[in-house]
């Protein structure tokens, strides 16, 4: 692969290869062997047109730990504010010869479009409600480490599926790895067409969580609701917020996940989020660095071999 634009473009063996390499980076990070040279001599530019804590910080750390020169573009202070388009911005940066561009953008498809205009590897850090591939990969690694496998699991993805790129990427990845996915939430947030992606849909949280191995909670993404129906937080928490009573429907060893940022008391009870016997939310953050190291390492290998082949053909 030249870019990492979406899980939809990855085969199961490619997903497994990324997770296997990420496992090695988890071990190195835990052993405080935090410097490698896989990206040595390469320039990584992070362009975040939307807010981020986890994704931006972990891409920056991942690049630095692998020896890249990393630049974070302050998009709020860029010439985008003077009317420059995304594509002109990308082509301007492309002229500075970056090797890896990490892009988050509010519009679905924007990162794909940008990748067609530049000469470097592009990683999608989240585009609109379309895809967030590294989030799904880090979620998959977290599940594989907690459950010892990434197939034949019953996984409930709960809440605002409609506006969630995390849900979409997870649905695709976990489906490719042959898991059974349930989507749980009100019809306004879990449209019936998601059944076409191979998921079972539940409106009732207690039924949806029955005997699942994994409970993945999602935030209400009000920033993408476009003035549509926004449920009252109190009512939503009552029906769909994960608390001990609802979680009791899942298997006794079910894990609780959340991609963050989390709204405690809206989609999840704070005590469940902090329960180290059930919640793997902090592990997800840890896996995020390792997965992004693995993804950039593998793309850099492809980039280097493409460039070597091009140079050889020119002589």
Q: Which one, 201 or 290, has the nearer CB to ligand CP?
A: 290
Q: Which one, 110 or 303, has the nearer CB to ligand CP?
A: 110
CA angle, 234 then 240 then 244, to 5°: 100
Which two structure tokens, joined as six digits, stand for 139?
A: 């979620």
Q: Is 89 annotated as a binding residue?
A: no
Instruction: Let me know: does 296 contact 66? Beta carbons within 8 Å.
Output: yes
Q: Is 54 annotated as a binding residue?
A: yes
Q: Which one, 49 or 202, has the nearer CB to ligand CP?
A: 49
Alpha helix segments (H runs only) across the chain: 12-30, 54-65, 86-94, 110-115, 133-147, 165-176, 205-208, 233-240, 244-247, 270-274, 281-314
| CB 55, min distance to ligand CP, A | 3
Q: Is 284 annotated as a binding residue?
A: no
| CB 256, min distance to ligand CP, A | 15
Question: Could you give the count of Cα atoms lying within 13 Å of 60 in the half-sphere of its Cβ?
Answer: 12
Q: Is 165 annotated as a binding residue?
A: yes
| CB 149, min distance to ligand CP, A | 24
| CB 113, min distance to ligand CP, A | 21
Q: Report which residue's Cβ sits closest to ligand CP.
A: 55
As a whole number of angstroms, the distance between CA 315 and CA 37 comes to 28
What CA–CA distances, in Å, run from 286 to 27, 28, 138? Answer: 11, 12, 9
As a whole number of angstroms, the distance between CA 238 and CA 222 comes to 18
Q: Is 311 annotated as a binding residue?
A: no
Which two structure tokens, joined as six digits, stand for 240?
A: 């769909």
- Using CB under 6 A as the criterion, which residues of the chain lie in contact with ligand CP when the complex forms? 52-55, 126, 135, 259-261
| CB 102, min distance to ligand CP, A | 11
Q: Which one, 126 or 241, has the nearer CB to ligand CP?
A: 126
Give the 3-state secondary structure of residue 16. Answer: helix
Q: Which residues pair with 127 in a beta bridge?
A: 105, 131
Q: Which one, 67 or 260, has the nearer CB to ligand CP?
A: 260
Q: Which one, 249 or 284, has the nearer CB to ligand CP?
A: 284
| CB 219, min distance to ligand CP, A | 9
Q: Is 260 annotated as a binding residue?
A: yes
Residue ranges for the binding site? 54-55, 82, 104, 132, 135, 165, 219, 260-261
Residue ranges for the binding site for L-aspartate? 82, 165, 219
Residue ranges for the binding site for carbamoyl phosphate? 54-55, 104, 132, 135, 260-261
């Amino acid at each position: 692969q030249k870019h990492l634009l979406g899980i939809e473009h990855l085969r199961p063996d490619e997903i497994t290869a990324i997770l296997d390499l990420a496992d090695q980076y988890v071990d190195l990070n835990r052993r405080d062997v935090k410097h490698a040279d896989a990206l040595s001599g390469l320039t990584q530019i992070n362009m975040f047109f939307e807010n981020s804590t986890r994704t931006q910080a972990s891409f920056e750390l991942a690049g630095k730990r692998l020896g890249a020169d990393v630049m974070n573009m302050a998009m709020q202070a860029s010439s985008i504010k003077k009317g420059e388009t995304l594509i002109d911005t990308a082509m301007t940066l492309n002229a500075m010869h970056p090797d890896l561009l990490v892009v988050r953008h509010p519009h679905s498809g924007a990162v794909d479009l940008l990748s067609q205009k530049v000469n470097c590897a592009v990683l999608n850090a989240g585009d609109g409600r379309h895809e967030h591939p590294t989030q799904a990969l880090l979620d998959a690694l977290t599940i594989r480490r907690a459950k010892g496998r990434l197939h034949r699991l019953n996984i409930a993805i709960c809440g605002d599926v409609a506006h969630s790129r995390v849900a979409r990427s997870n649905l695709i990845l976990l489906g490719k790895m042959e898991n059974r996915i349930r989507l749980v939430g009100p019809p306004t947030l879990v449209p019936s067409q998601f059944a076409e992606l191979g998921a079972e849909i539940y409106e009732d949280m207690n039924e949806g969580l029955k005997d699942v191995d994994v409970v993945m909670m999602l935030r209400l993404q009000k920033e993408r609701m476009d003035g549509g129906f926004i449920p009252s937080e109190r009512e939503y928490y009552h029906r769909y917020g994960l608390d001990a009573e609802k979680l009791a429907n899942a298997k006794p060893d079910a894990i609780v996940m959340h991609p963050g940022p989390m709204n405690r008391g809206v989609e999840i009870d704070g005590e469940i989020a902090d329960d180290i016997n059930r919640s793997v939310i902090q592990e997800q953050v840890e896996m995020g660095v390792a997965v992004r190291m693995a993804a950039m390492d593998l793309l850099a290998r492809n980039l280097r071999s493409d460039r070597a082949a091009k140079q050889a053909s020119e002589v």
